[in-house]
Chain A
Amino acid sequence: DGGITQSPKYLFRKEGQNVTLSCEQNLNHDAMYWYRQDPGQGLRLIYYSQIVNDFQKGDIAEGYSVSREKKESFPLTVTSAQKNPTAFYLCASGGIAGVGDTQYFGPGTRLTVL
């Protein structure tokens, strides 16, 4: 089945630790995205990548880093510099939103800082 997988589903982090969230897609999409979801705030864009080895900051990139070494994979690292990382993280892939392409979402990773 084609789709987007995210792992783990739940992740717990201690203060000062870096953690990496996995996102894999087999939809052969060029573009991939990371969003953060907080209650009552909708989704906010963290980073996106249009092609391998290239990525762009979104609206809330501070404290996060990404890589895009393979078309299928777009891992997100939440660094210790992110002051309030507890949130639901959603990965998406798809085409160009500015021409009406659809973004498809993974099931999400819930990160909790202990």
Chain B
Amino acid sequence: AQSVTQLGSHVSVSEGALVLLRCNYSSSVPPYLFWYVQYPNQGLQLLLKYTSAATLVKGINGFEAEFKKSETSFHLTKPSAHMSDAAEYFCAVSGPSGANNLFFGTGTRLTVIP
């Protein structure tokens, strides 16, 4: 069965500091992994996705994530936080091969302190 755990429902960082949002997955098959961002009262926007082409995935807005099979992790990072990064971030894992389902984590709310 596929599932995702996001450690830390709230993360606060100072502007200019490193952003690290944690995601661990459980999957019975090689997974496809996604990070989405949600601004208040809006839909989700894709930040990046892992589809086995490369373990380090670069996304939009300076974010990147590294797939580590040995740790079953797909943590999201950004070297320098900006005020506009304040939002909620969701990690998701795909269902079995050929399935449409995405399984989402419970989200991490990022606060950026000026």
Contact = CB atoms under 8 A, between A and B. Distances in A.
Nearest to B42: A107
Interface stretch (B14-22, B71-79, B96-104): B96-104
Nearest to B6: A42
A6 B41 CA distance: 13
A42 B90 contact: yes
B49 A102 contact: yes
Given A102-B46, A106-B43, A108-B41, A42 B101 contact: no
> Chain A interface secondary structure, helix, strand, loop or mixed?
strand
Interface residues of A, number: 29
> Chain B interface secondary structure, helix, strand, loop or mixed?
loop
Contacts of A88: 41
Interface string A28-68: 00010100000011111100101000000010000000000
Nearest to A110: B41
A80 B52 CA distance: 44
A96 B43 contact: no
A37 B106 CA distance: 10
A42 B51 CA distance: 22
Interface string A101-114: 01111111010000
Interface of B: 9, 32, 34, 36, 41-46, 49, 51-52, 90, 92, 94-102, 104-107
Interface of A: 4, 6, 31, 33, 40-45, 48, 50, 58, 88, 90, 92, 96-100, 102-108, 110
